[in-house]
C-alpha cells in the first residue's frame, strides 16, 4: 500500500511576526515534514531552532546555521536516518545561501526531503539553482524539495529546478495560486517539487487570517503518496 506524507514549505520571515499565529497554522494542517526558510542561523541558532520545533509541535531534523537558515522539521511518524547541509555559490557581499537535506522513511518507504532559499539577485540565482539541482541529482531515493525560489514559474532558475521533477501546484491545477506577499499575494515564488515517483494527492496554499499574521509568505502544503 502507498504511504502518504504531508509536506509543508514555509518561509517564516525570521520569526518577526505573530508566533502564536505561526504555531496555529502549522498545528492546523498537521504536517509530517516542514521545510522552513529564514529559520535561525546566527547567535544561539541550535537553541532557537529547537525552540521553533517545540513551538510547532515537531522535532529538529536538519539545518540552521550550516544550511544558511534552512531547516527541516518532522513529526514522530517520520524516521530520520541521515542529514546533511550544503552551501550554495554566492557573490561576495551578498547573503550566503544553502540547503538542508534529510534522508527519511515512513514505515518501509524511504525518501529524501530537501529545503532551500535562493538569492534575491537575478544574476546570482541561476548559478545557485544549477548547484542545487546537481546536489539533488546525486540522490537515488525519491526526493521532495520545498523552496523559496525568489523567482516565478518560467524563469531560468525555476526551469532548472523543475527539470525532471513535478511541480505540485501545477500537477493539481493550482499554479494560479500565489504565495507572496501574504497580505495580498501576486507572485508564486514558493514551491514544492516532487520526484515523479510520488503521486501528488493534494496541494494547497494556506490562505487564512492566521497565515497572513504569521509571515510575509503564505505556506504551501502537499500530500504525496509513495509506494513501498
pLDDT tens digits for 17-31? 999 999 999 999 999
At residue 144 the predicted structure's pLDDT band, cuts being 50, 70 and 90, is: very high
Q: Is the peptide bond before 181 cis (omega within 30 degrees of 0)?
A: yes
Q: What cell numbers appear for 34 in the block? A: 516542514
DSSP assignment of 79-116: EEEEEEEEEPP--TTSPP-EEEEEEEEETTEEEEEEEE
Per-residue pLDDT averaged across 33-55, rounded?
96
Residue with cell 490562505: 207
- Looking at residue 200, the DSSP 8-state letter turns out to be E
Q: What cell numbers appear for 206 in the block? A: 494556506
Q: Does the predicted model carry a pTM greater than 0.85?
A: yes
- Looking at residue 77, the DSSP 8-state letter turns out to be T
pLDDT tens digits for 63-80? 999 999 999 999 999 999
Find residue 10's DSSP bridge partners.
Answer: 36
Q: Where are the domains of the chain?
A: 3-226
Tell me, which fold does domain 3-226 have in CATH?
Deoxyribonuclease I; Chain A (3.60.10)
Rounded CA separation 220/206 (Å): 6
Amino acid at each position: 500500500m502507498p504511504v502518504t506524507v504531508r509536506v509543508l514549505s514555509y518561509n517564516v520571515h525570521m520569526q518577526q511576526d505573530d508566533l502564536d499565529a505561526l504555531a496555529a497554522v502549522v498545528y492546523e494542517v498537521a504536517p509530517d515534514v516542514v521545510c522552513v526558510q529564514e529559520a535561525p542561523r546566527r547567535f544561539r541558532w541550535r537553541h532557537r531552532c529547537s525552540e521553533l520545533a517545540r513551538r510547532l509541535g515537531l522535532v529538529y531534523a536538519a539545518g540552521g546555521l550550516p544550511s544558511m537558515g534552512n531547516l527541516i522539521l518532522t513529526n514522530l511518524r517520520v524516521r530520520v536516518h541521515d542529514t546533511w547541509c550544503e552551501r550554495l555559490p554566492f557573490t561576495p557581499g551578498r547573503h550566503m545561501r544553502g540547503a538542508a537535506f534529510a534522508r527519511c522513511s515512513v514505515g518501509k518507504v524511504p525518501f529524501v526531503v530537501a529545503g532551500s532559499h535562493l538569492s534575491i539577485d537575478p544574476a546570482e540565482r541561476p548559478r545557485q539553482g544549477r548547484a542545487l539541482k546537481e546536489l539533488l541529482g546525486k540522490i537515488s531515493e525519491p526526493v521532495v524539495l520545498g523552496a523559496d525560489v525568489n523567482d516565478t514559474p518560467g524563469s531560468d532558475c525555476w526551469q532548472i529546478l523543475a527539470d525532471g521533477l513535478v511541480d505540485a501546484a501545477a500537477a493539481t491545477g493550482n499554479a494560479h495560486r500565489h504565495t507572496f506577499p501574504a497580505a495580498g499575494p501576486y507572485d508564486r515564488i514558493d514551491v514544492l517539487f516532487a520526484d515523479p515517483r510520488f503521486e501528488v494527492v493534494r496541494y494547497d496554499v494556506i490562505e487564512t487570517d492566521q497565515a497572513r499574521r504569521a509571515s510575509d509568505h503564505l505556506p504551501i502544503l502537499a500530500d504525496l503518496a509513495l509506494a513501498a
